[in-house]
Amino acid sequence: MKQREKILIQASWVSIIGNAILSVLKMGIGLFAGSLAVLGDGIDSATDVVISIVTLITARIVSRPPNSNYAYGYEKADSVATKVLSFVIFFAGIQMLISTGKSIIFAEPRELPSVIAIYVTILSMFGKLGLAYYQFHQGKLAESSMLIANAKNMRNDVIISSGVLLGLLFTFVLNMPILDSITGLLISIYIIKSSIDIFLESNVVLMDGVKDTSVYKKIFEAVEQVPGASNPHRVRSRQIGNLYMIVLDIEIDGDLTLNEAHDIANEVEQGIKSSIANVYDIVVHLEPQGKHHEEEKFGLNKDLL
């Protein structure tokens, strides 16, 4: 846990500093060069600074120990933060959509942007590419949906900067300043779509689901390998941070002693842990073999896979 917290904090600081430099550079050059597309790209980088501050705060929260209010700890703060990030990205995209839309609808004669806008955009692409790779690598290492979402956002920024660069090139070649505004409009739509994708992806964990549904197949297969264990049912799995919490019912011979039944349950737990990484806890409920089961509201049976 301490190592995971360290990774989250370090990655957040790298993102804050890197994006702050790029944001100031692009907004300053965007204003100086008269490019709305570069200015919008700079605003997008400014939202990345806000996002990184959120990840930094979250890194402190997830490390808190469990208490009477949160018996499972604070690991889900990672998923909550991912949801917050999607809103920040969404509103940044809406703001950019409004400003670029106004510049197109109420178009006024504009001069061509300065050529320096091209150079700062190329620099931004390389900078963002490095930050995105670093965030994704650290996110995988810490198994943090928050860092991975941030990495995807920065990857999108590389695509955004590519669009800005293409728009600037066409603006200069065709001598049409309005293309700069149109590029900014398209970029804002892409930002909004990206925020919606991140929002929907974070729903899975917050609704006690799992992103990798193959864990259920592995659970059933693990139970089948244990002599004396049969009919796994009412299987439930959810994620808290990067950890799996698994609950299931199995049937055993009702005439077994408590010690024998406990040994079977223990083998089931060990079998599941050996086939699924990052399992924090497994609860195995034992039932006498052949007991009639009423239809359950929650959980999966093998025939539902």
At 304 the pLDDT is 65
Mark whether 228 and 187 lie in a shared domain: no
Domain total of the chain: 2
Among 173, 206, 239, identify where a domain stops.
206
37 near 187, Cβ under 8 Å? yes
DSSP track, the chain: -HHHHHHHHHHHHHHHHHHHHHHHHHHHHHHHHT-HHHHHHHHHHHHHHHHHHHHHHHHHHHTSPP-SS-TT-STTHHHHHHHHHHHHHHHHHHHHHHHHHHHHHT----PPPPTHHHHHHHHHHHHHHHHHHHHHHHHHHHT-HHHHHHHHHHHHHHHHHHHHHHHHHHHHHHT-THHHHHHHHHHHHHHHHHHHHHHHHHHHHHTT--S-THHHHHHHHHHHTSTT-EEEEEEEEEEETTEEEEEEEEEE-TTS-HHHHHHHHHHHHHHHHHHSTTEEEEEEEEEETT---PPPSSSB-GGG-
At 225 the pLDDT is 92
pTM of the model: 0.65
H or E element that contains 187: helix 178-206
Mark whether 194 and 248 lie in a shared domain: no
pLDDT < 50 positions in the chain = none
Among 206, 234, 259, identify where a domain stops.
206
H or E element that contains 173: helix 145-174
Residues in the chain: 305
Among 190, 206, 222, identify where a domain stops.
206
H or E element that contains 239: strand 230-240
At 176 the pLDDT is 67
Mark whether 259 and 226 lie in a shared domain: yes
Mark whether 145 and 201 lie in a shared domain: yes
Mark whether 171 and 226 lie in a shared domain: no
pLDDT in tens, 79-137: 888 888 888 778 877 877 887 777 677 665 555 556 677 777 788 888 888 888 888 88
Mark whether 125 and 148 lie in a shared domain: yes
Query: Domain containing 276 — which CATH number?
Result: 3.30.70.1350
Query: Domain containing 73 — which CATH number?
Result: 1.20.1510.10
Mark whether 14 and 73 lie in a shared domain: yes
Mark whether 84 and 182 lie in a shared domain: yes
At 272 the pLDDT is 93
Domain that residue 110 falls in: 2-206
Mark whether 183 and 223 lie in a shared domain: no
CA atoms of 93 and 277, how far apart (whole Å): 37
